[in-house]
Structure 1
């Protein structure tokens, strides 16, 4: 993994790592897939049964942040205990990322959403701390799904 950041998140997908990487690099600017190593042909080893053509190790960059991923099967699943914060400059940027990443309406709250691969994201204004100075602003934020900057400013 030469050239990657010394620390990067690793995403374990059941069997959709390639699809997820391709999707994410289309969502975020300054993004690219840097390497994909597929599982060896399953006929070579019984441990690889059903994994031929799946991602053993994928490396990609999203908006300058390095990630790795793999297709590891159903043993582990994504959880909201880990999420990725996307700091946005304005409402238009929040709206764009929200439209691209929010696919599970029942998991939406306070700027958190879950994408179609089960990964959790926090789509928030870069100046979130400034927008949460009063109890009224915090209450408004707690009732929001997608963050609406004007509602926080007017609270």
Structure 2
């Protein structure tokens, strides 16, 4: 059994996927194709398909005109080991996009992302529930997540 997330783009699918795979280490494009002339989905070349991996996840992105815009019902979370990784991804994805709170943003294509430190999950799941609460409360005040500030909250 194989599970693949699917993303529907109105336009610029290949540019978006090249951008994403260039940002996340271990990512690659497997194929780029268009539907053939005998496809029931529209005229030849009207639907572009891009199969790719982003980190360790499989995706199929396609460009097929307007349908539903992206929303938070589907988002991509990237857990980073360092603040430098967070800063790099945040800056790239936020360019032309919309910045939100708690590490969330939307890129220029409208796709929702959460860029978070791996350490956040460890701190929020700490057996010391008071520590976990302080970390969660600190996170809720942030826009881009800050590892040092989360660690400081954990220490009290």
Give the shorter-chain TM-score range.
Answer: 0.7 to 0.9
Which residue pairs with 2:127 in the alignment?
Answer: none
The answer on whether the counterparts of 1:10 and 1:67 sit within 8 Å (CA) in structure 2 is yes
Which residue pairs with 2:9 in the alignment?
Answer: 13
SS in 2 for 1:21: helix
- C-alpha separation between the residues in 1 aligned to 2:67 and 2:21? 26
- Cα 1:46–1:53 change in 2 (3 A) is closer
Q: What is the alpha-carbon root mean square deviation over aligned residues?
A: 2.3
- How many residues are paired up? 146
- C-alpha separation between the residues in 1 aligned to 2:152 and 2:59? 38
The answer on whether the counterparts of 1:110 and 1:146 sit within 8 Å (CA) in structure 2 is yes
| Alignment gaps of 5+ in structure 2 | 125-130
Q: How far 1:117 moved relative to its partner?
A: 1.1
| TM-score (normalised: structure 2) | 0.81
Q: Which runs of 4+ in 1 moved over 6 A?
A: 44-47
Q: How far 1:136 moved relative to its partner?
A: 2.7
The answer on whether the counterparts of 1:91 and 1:148 sit within 8 Å (CA) in structure 2 is yes
Q: 2:102 aligns with which of 96, 110, 115?
A: 110
The answer on whether the counterparts of 1:112 and 1:146 sit within 8 Å (CA) in structure 2 is yes
| TM-score (normalised: structure 1) | 0.82
| Alignment gaps of 5+ in structure 1 | none
